[in-house]
Structure 1
Amino acid sequence: MNHPGRRLAAVFFDLDGTLADTAGDFIPVVQTLRAEAGLAPLPPERIRASVSNGARGLVTLALGLGEDDDGFERWRQRLLTLYGGLLGTHATVFPGLRELIAQLDSAGIAWGIATNKPRAYTAPLLERLAIDPPPASVVCPEDVRERKPHPESLERNCREAGCSPAQAIYVGDHRRDIEAGQRAGLYTVAAAYGYIEPGDDPARWGADGLVSNSEALAAQLLPPLEDTVEGLS
């Protein structure tokens, strides 16, 4: 990853599939939805790959419905109700990222989250995950006019963390994350360990960097913390 030498001030993460492994909460929800519709279960890994597409994407996956189809909104609300009952039950922070965040804090570097997950679900999830120190900035769809891939979420992250986009890194597991980061002027890292749809290739998203697992992300971000973001590879 070639990046101009500049002082690193903040690292921002997408939430589902990048910072937190939340698929364990969504898999039973999708299976329940299918059972209620009289359908057979899906392979769990197929559901896992689609978690980053949010509630609408999961309803489409579960039932084959488009957003304009009759009943779509009713099923979406049912999915959200089921998810609310399981929220955070099986979710974990990806390996190495708690340690990374502690290291960021020790180096005086802020961290935060830019997510398309509504705050009603983001806030209790973060409470259950209990990451220490807490994020300096959490931007949810309710906080902006336009959600990712629009850059507004990350622009707000930077304001709240007190840094310029040129001093920040954004890590995400979806093409929309990389687009949002690039449009906002941040250095972008594609998390290939996240929830990647079949046939999608994170290497083609145009990110500045690519990591295959969360431990690799921590290993690549930690060395330059005392100097700059230069030297990521």
Structure 2
Amino acid sequence: MKLPTPKVVLFDLDGTLVDTAPDLGHAANLIRAERGLPPLPLADYRPVASAGARGLLGKALGITMDDPEFPALRAQFLDRYRDNLTRESRLFDGMEALLAAIGARGARWGIVTNKPSALTGPLLDGLQLTARSAVSISADEVARAKPAPDALLHACERLAVAGHDCWYVGDDKRDITAGRAAGMHTIAADWGYLGADEPIDEWGADRIAESPQQIADWL
């Protein structure tokens, strides 16, 4: 079934719009180096990158959120990451063309992420995306992070659009769950980090996109 033409296309940030895994992995390896441990390859970090500090520290040090050291390690990790936000992070291949295609069709695009705003803002500034995006909503701007729909609904309020006029693109099941709960048409990004245990075709997305170009073809 053809997706209705969107007024707004919203993207998850890490693993969907921007490939941030190299800088997240670098920050995790800095934490390892401070403990005399050798670096892990980026391939080890990529599947857990969408899980933030929890996933990256879990991979880097085998630590969980229940560990009493976790809060201090999380703060250290975020400090290292904040210092390296745009060291290697870039738009995914084909994403620039997709953003251009959205604009060419008279639609807008924006970002809804579980990343904290203290990191989201500087990252978007560093990649010169702030002025280009119609909206950017971070997890700490709403009561509940994804998979709750709060951030997506807040984006709709800011843009004065209804959920059914939006597409939401994400690389994790929580993105699809949140998008559906907000009444949006959902697209699973098969090029992302795909850290969920459940296969992508079981997330309940309206479409699965193998590349940003495929989404452009659906516009």
TM interval, shorter chain, is over 0.9
Residue of 156, 176, 179 corresponding to 2:174: 176
Q: State the TM-score, normalized to the length of structure 2.
A: 0.93
Superposed displacement of residue 59, structure 1: 1.3
Q: Which residue of 2 aligns with 1:205?
A: 203
Q: What amino acid sits opposite 2:53 in the alignment?
A: A
Q: Per-residue deviation at 1:43? A: 2.9
Q: CA deviation at 1:12?
A: 0.2
**2:165 & 2:94 partners in 1: Cα distance?**
22
Task: Return the offset for 1:30.
Answer: 1.4
Distance of aligned partners of 1:152 and 1:200 in 2 relative to their CA distance in 1, 3 Å threshold: same
Q: Residues 121-169 of structure 1, C-alpha deviation per residue, up to 9 Å, x if partnerless?
A: 1111111111386111111112111111000111111122221111110
Structure having greater relative contact order (Cα 8 Å, sep ≥ 6):
1
Determine what percentage of the aligned residue pairs are the same residue: 38
Question: What is the rounded CA distance, in whole Å, between the counterparts of 2:151 and 2:77 in structure 1?
Answer: 25
Q: Structure 2: how far apart are the matches of 1:199 and 1:146?
A: 22
- The structure 2 residue matched to 1:158, chosen from 156, 175, 180, is 156
Q: Which moved more, 1:100-109 or 1:180-189?
A: 100-109
CA deviations on 1:197-217 (whole Å, 9 max, x unpaired) are 385521121111101223333
Paired position in structure 2 for 1:33 = 31
RMSD over equivalenced CA pairs, Å = 1.8
From 11, 14, 21, the equivalent of 2:12 is 14
- Structure 2: runs of 5+ lacking an equivalent: none
How many Å separate the matches in 2 of 1:10 and 1:198? 26
Q: Contact conserved, 2:98 with 2:213, CA < 8 A, in 1?
A: no
Moved more, 110-119 or 56-65: 56-65
Equivalence map 1:17-166=2 (5 Å): 17-131=15-129, 134-166=132-164
Instruction: Give the distance between the partners of 1:132 and 1:56, measured in 2 at CA.
Output: 27
Asked if the contact 2:13/2:112 (under 8 Å) is kept, the reply is yes
| Structure 1 consecutive aligned stretches of length 4 or more whose deviation exceeds 6 Å | none
Number of positions where the alignment pairs a residue of Structure 1 with one of Structure 2: 219
Partners of 1:198 and 1:98 lie apart in 2 by: 26
CA distance in 2, matches of 1:160, 1:194: 27
1:185 equivalent in structure 2? 183
> Shift in Å at residue 35 of structure 1?
2.5
Q: Which amino acid in the other structure matches residue 114 of structure 2?
A: N
Residue in 2 aligned with 1:194?
192
User: Who is 1:231 aligned against?
Assistant: none
- Does the CA contact (< 8 Å) of 2:116 and 2:139 recur in 1? yes
Q: 1:65 to 1:49 in 2, by over 3 A?
A: same
Secondary structure at the aligned position of 2:76 is classed as: helix
Give, in whole Å, the separation in 2 of the partners of 1:63 and 1:36: 12
1:136 and 1:160 in contact (8 A); partners too:
no
Give ranges in structure 1 of 5+ residues lacking alignment.
225-233
Change (3 A) 1:76 1:133: closer
Q: 1:96 to 1:142 in 2, by over 3 A?
A: same
Q: TM-score, normalised by structure 1?
A: 0.87
Q: What is the one-letter code of the residue matched to 2:92?
A: F
Tell me: CA distance 1:99–1:72, structure 2 relative to 1, closer, same or farther (3 Å): same
